A = this chain, B = another copy of it.
Amino acid sequence: MEADENASDQRAGRPRDPRIDRAVLRAANDLVRQHGYADLTIAAIAEAAGTTKPAIYRRWPSKAHLVHEAVFPSGENTSLPQTGSLSDDLREMLRRTAAAFSEPAARAALPGLLAEISADRSLHTALLERFQDGVWGALRQRLVEAAERGEVRSGVDPAALLETIAGATLMALLIRDTDHLDDAWVEHSAELLTKGITP
């Protein structure tokens, strides 16, 4: 992220053991899926990862920072397939958001993460960036292109549309009993939003 991290990346002192980073992220993902966010303790993560609490606190300032990284890894595939159709783009976007939020670890962690986000600005920023750099960025680009082609009526705010997609997905998962959102839900929601934004 910073320019001075390339060449002489090596900071003084003993370097952090990257195996610990990986083991902790994996343990956090496992445990949050098994026990839920509230019953997740740093000590348990440390033990499952074969390390100690201080080693974790050296890397992440809080449980939320750790879990958000464990549950939404940054390296996820972000490229939307070329569909050429705004309707298909929306459908794919909904499918992906639903899939990401339904993934067991994410489903277990999201409500807790949202609670902490609303009380911690640094987390807020970190989580938003993680999504902007991922799937959402791609859709925003498609929307802009579609608008240029005249397929989107003027007055549609891309950011608001993304909020609606994410919010509808989240709320559906929170309210419904089901474990995941099926194709019918995706279809139904895509139709609603497509009709909502076409001229």
Please give the number of chain A residues whose Cβ is less than 8 angstroms from any Cβ of chain B in the complex: 41
Chain B residues within 8 Å of A114, by CB:
111, 114-115, 174
How many monomers of this chain does the complex have?
A: 4
Q: Is the interface of A mostly helix, strand, loop or mixed?
A: helix
In whole angstroms, what is the CA distance A189 to B112 when docked? Answer: 27
Task: Determine if B191 and A155 form an interchain contact, defined as CB atoms under 8 angstroms apart.
Answer: yes
- Asked if residues B168 and A163 are in contact (CB atoms below 8 Å), the reply is yes
- With beta carbons under 8 angstroms apart, the residue of B115, B128, B164 that contacts A111 is B115
C-alpha spacing A195/B168, complex, angstroms:
17
Known A-B contacts A155-B191, A189-B164, A196-B196; A116 and B172 likewise in contact (beta carbons under 8 Å):
no
Q: Measuring CB to CB, which residues of chain A are less than 8 angstroms from any residue of chain B?
A: 36-39, 110-112, 114-119, 128, 155-157, 160-161, 163-164, 166-172, 174-175, 185, 188-189, 191-198
CB-nearest residue of chain B relative to A194? B196
Contact assessment for B115 and A37 in the assembled complex, using a CB-CB cutoff below 8 Å: yes
Closest B residue to A170 by beta carbon equals: B167
